[in-house]
Amino acid sequence: MLLPLLLPVIFLLYLRYDPKKQAPGDVDDLKVYPLVGRFPHFVKNQHRLVEWSVHVARRSPTHTTTFKVVGMPGVVLTANPDNLEHIAKTNFSNYPKGEYMLTKIEDFLGRGIFCSDGDQWLWQRKAASFEFSKRSQRKFVVDAVGSELVDHLLPLLDQAARHGRTLDMQHVFECFSFDNICRTAFGEDPACLAAADEGSTTPPEKREAIEFMRAFDYVQNAILVRFVPPESMLWRVKKALNMPPEKQIREALDTVLGYADRIVRRCKERGEADPGSRGDFLAHFAASGARELTDDNLRDVVTNFLLAGRDTTAAAMTWFFWLVSGRPDVEDKIVHEVHRFRRIHGPTGSTTFSLDELREMHYIHAAITESMRLYPPVPQGMHVSKGDDVLPDGTFVGKGWAVNHSLYAMARLEELWGKDCEEFRPERWLREDGTFQPESPFKNPVFHAGPRMCLGKEMAYIQMKSVVACAFERFSFRYLGGEEHPGMEISFLLRMKGGLPMQVTKRQPGPLEGF
C-alpha cells in the first residue's frame, strides 16, 4: 500500500490548491499530478462528490474519467450509457460488487441479496424474483399501502393541516416507508408513523420498533466511515478493540439484528399457526424451500429488503414533493389527473386507488419518473473489475479497479437529455397521446439495469403513486426551507440535508367530493 506514503504529497497539493485562483475551466480540466494523478481533485471534493460528478462527466467527450494513484487500484467514474451497459449486462460476470465493499458491510447485511455476488447472489435472486412476479403479491402490496395511507398517513396530514403544524416530510416519508416495507415484506406493522405524530403517545410495544428504526438509521450512516480514509484502514482494529465509533456501531447492530431475528421468529410462528394466510414476502420466502434456509439467511432477507426498499422510496418522495412545491403547473396537472379518475369511476367509496387505476395514471407516473431522473435515490453505483478489460469508449480498466457510474451526472448531460436536461419536465416522458414512454434503463438507470436490476420497481411505483394521488387530492404542500437549493447528505442514498419542512393545507373540495 503506497497510500500512507502519498498522503503527505496529497496533503501538500491540497494546501496549494485554491479554487479562487483558478479559472473555472481549470476546475473542469482536472489537472493530472505526478504519481497521484487526479486524486487530489477527488480529495478536495469529498464533501460534494455528487455535485462534482457532473463537472467530471461533462469535461470528458465520452463522460468517463480515470483516477489513478501509482501503486493503487484505479477508479473509473463514468456517466456513459454504453459503458454502463457493458458493466451491468454485457460483461456482467466481470463486474461483481466486490469484496472490498461487501466485507465492510457484512456484519450489518450479512450475505443477503444486496450484499453477495456469484452463486450466493443467484439463488436468492431466483427465489425473490419468483415471489415478486406473482400477481397476488401486487394485490397484497396495493392493499397494504392503502391501509397505511388510510390508517396513518392521511390522518397525520389532516392533523397537521388543522393545527397549522410544520411537518418534516422527509421524516414522515421515512417512517411511512419503514412501516410499509415491514407490512408488505414481513407482515408486521410497527406503526412508526403514528409515533412520528407528536400529538400521540407511543404504546410500549411500539417502542421496540422505533428503537429498531433508529438503530437501523444509525448503522446505515455510521458504517460509511469505513469507506473514508483513514478510517478505511483503521476500522478493523477499532472493531477488535471495541473503540468508538465501532463500539457504538456494534451496540446499534445488536438492536438491529435482535429485532430482525424476532421478526423472523414471529413470521415462522404465524406460518405454522395458519399456513393458508401467508401474504407477506418473508413467509413465502421461508416456505419456498428454494434451499434449506437458515434463520440467519432469513435475517439477512429482513435487513437487505429494509435497506433496499425503505429509504429509496422515501428519498424519491422527498425530492418529488420539493420539486412540485415550486411548480404549480405540475401540481395542477396531478390534481387534474386524480379528479379525472374520480369522475370516470364515480364515488366508489374508496379513499385509495386500485391497481388498475394506478396503472392508468400516466401523468403522475411521468412526474415521479422525471423527479427521480434528476434526483436518483441511489445517486451512484460501484462495481469492481475481476480482470483487465476495456470499456466500449476505449477506457482501460485494470484488475481490481472500481468502476463507478454517476446517475446524478447522467441526468445532467445535454447529449442524453437535450438542452433542458436540468429542467423538471414530466412531459419528457409522455407521448403525444399522454401515455407514458419508458427509456432505456442504461440511459436512466434509476432502478439499475441488467441482471441485478431492482426487484422492487413495480412495488415502489405502486407505493409512490398511491401516496401522490391520495395526498395531492386532499392537500397542498408549501416548502418552508427558503429559496436556496436544499443540501444533499452524503450517504448511500440521496437524502435532503436538514429535512423537508412543509406546511400542509387542505385543498378546496374537488368536483366530486361529497357527491
With CB under 6 A as the contact rule, the residue among 378, 402, 454, 464 that binds ligand NAG is 402
Give, in order, the Cα–Cα distances in Å from 338 to each of 70, 341, 437: 58, 5, 20
Q: Candidates 271-279, 304-312, 408-416, 429-437: pick the segment binding ligand HEM (CB under 6 A).
A: 304-312
- 308 near ligand HEM (CB under 6 A): yes
Cα of first residue to Cα of last residue in the chain, in angstroms, is 73
CB of 416 to ligand NAG, least distance (A): 19
- 67 near ligand NAG (CB under 6 A): yes
Point out the residue whose Cβ comes nearest to ligand HEM: 456
Query: Which of 68/365 has CB closer to ligand HEM?
Result: 365
With CB under 6 A as the contact rule, the residue among 69, 77, 79, 264 that binds ligand NAG is 77
CA distance 131 to 120: 18
313 binds, among ligand NAG, ligand HEM, none (CB under 5 to 8 A by kind): ligand HEM
- 424 near ligand HEM (CB under 6 A): no
Using N-to-C axis directions, what is the helix angle for 457-474 and 328-345, rounded to 10°? 90
Which residues from 101-160 bind ligand HEM, rule CB under 6 A?
A: 113-114, 125, 128
Q: Are 425 and 417 in contact (CB under 8 A)?
A: no
CB-based contacts of 89, cutoff 8 Å, min separation 6: 442, 449, 450, 451
What sign results for the dihedral spanned by CA atoms 114, 116, 120, 122? Answer: positive
Amino acid at 464: M
Using N-to-C axis directions, what is the helix angle for 328-345 and 362-374, rounded to 10°? 150
Amino acid at 447: F
* Phi, psi dihedrals of residue 223, rounded to the nearest 5°: -65, -20
Which residues from 456-485 bind ligand HEM, rule CB under 6 A?
A: 456, 459-460
CA distance 251 to 68: 37
Q: Are 286 and 269 in contact (CB under 8 A)?
A: no
192 binds, among ligand NAG, ligand HEM, none (CB under 5 to 8 A by kind): none
The cell for 502 is: 412543509
115 binds, among ligand HEM, ligand NAG, none (CB under 5 to 8 A by kind): none
The cell for 90 is: 454485457
- 323 near ligand HEM (CB under 6 A): no
Which residues from 337-396 bind ligand NAG, rule CB under 6 A?
A: 380, 382, 386-389
Asked whether residue 454 is marked as a ligand-binding residue, the answer is yes
- 235 near ligand NAG (CB under 6 A): no
Give the interface with ligand HEM as residue ranges (CB under 6 A). Answer: 113-114, 125, 128, 181, 185, 305, 308-309, 312-313, 316, 377-378, 381, 446-448, 452, 454-456, 459-460
Give the interface with ligand NAG as residue ranges (CB under 6 A). Answer: 42, 49, 67, 75, 77, 90-91, 94, 227, 380, 382, 386-389, 402, 404
